[in-house]
Amino acid sequence: MREITMPISDDVIRSLKVGEPVLLTGVMVTGRDAAHKWMIETFIKKTRPPQGDDEKVYQELKKLLNGSVIYHCGPVVAKDENGEYKFLAAGPTTSIREEPYQADVMKHFNVKGVIGKGGMGAKTLKGCQETPGVYFHAIGGAASFIAQSVKKVLGVYKLEFGTPEAMWVIEVKDFPVVVTMDAHGGSQHAVIDSSSQEVLDKLLREPY
């Protein structure tokens, strides 16, 4: 089991291979559909002008995401007796919805890792090779367990998107993931898709 601290260097990223289990420690940022769309439209493709505190948030995200990880997560969040945010559940959400955006976000912000479930497609895999970066698969259905890895909520951006879609800055320790897309073009998801298609084709060819 590899133990890796964020921010992550290019050398460490390139040393990771598909199938390798990893424990992540450090600071990462959550981001789902609304966040990715906002980043792309406002700061990467610039199809909409910045509004409100967008520029300030952008400058903070450039520092936070540089060498770090973005987590596809819609957390369940509450405030404790001290008025501080706490993650009650922090399970991964389906990543493929971010396929149109992810490679561009990775390259623009120098994001070294993406955490989610279900894998991503060819565009993101190419982005992993170019940035370089990796896709980390988290455990679906283990939201409460994963939340135990979140030691502190350091802040939140774009809360107007709603709690699940906001960008939460979290400090984690020993966050469990598995590398399923690496910086060398390896993708466990592509392998599974191919082998599953072969089985399906064989079944369809067999006589009743």
Q: Cα angle vertex 23, ends 114, 143, to 5°?
A: 70
CB crowding 96-134: b at 16 or more within 10 Å, else e: bbbeebbbbbbebbbbbbbbbbebbbeebbebbbebbbb
- To the query of whether residue 108 is one of the catalytic residues in this protein, the response is no
Gap between the terminal Cα atoms of the chain: 46
Instruction: Tell which residue, 71, 82, 95, has the closest CA to residue 172.
Output: 71
| Total Cβ atoms within 10 A of residue 51 | 9
DSSP conformational letter for 127: H
Helix, strand or coil, per DSSP, at residue 120:
coil
Burial of 160 (0-12, 13-18, 19+ CB in 10 A): exposed
From the list 36, 72, 137, 189, the catalytic residue is 36
| Total Cβ atoms within 10 A of residue 75 | 25
Q: Which residues are catalytic?
A: 36
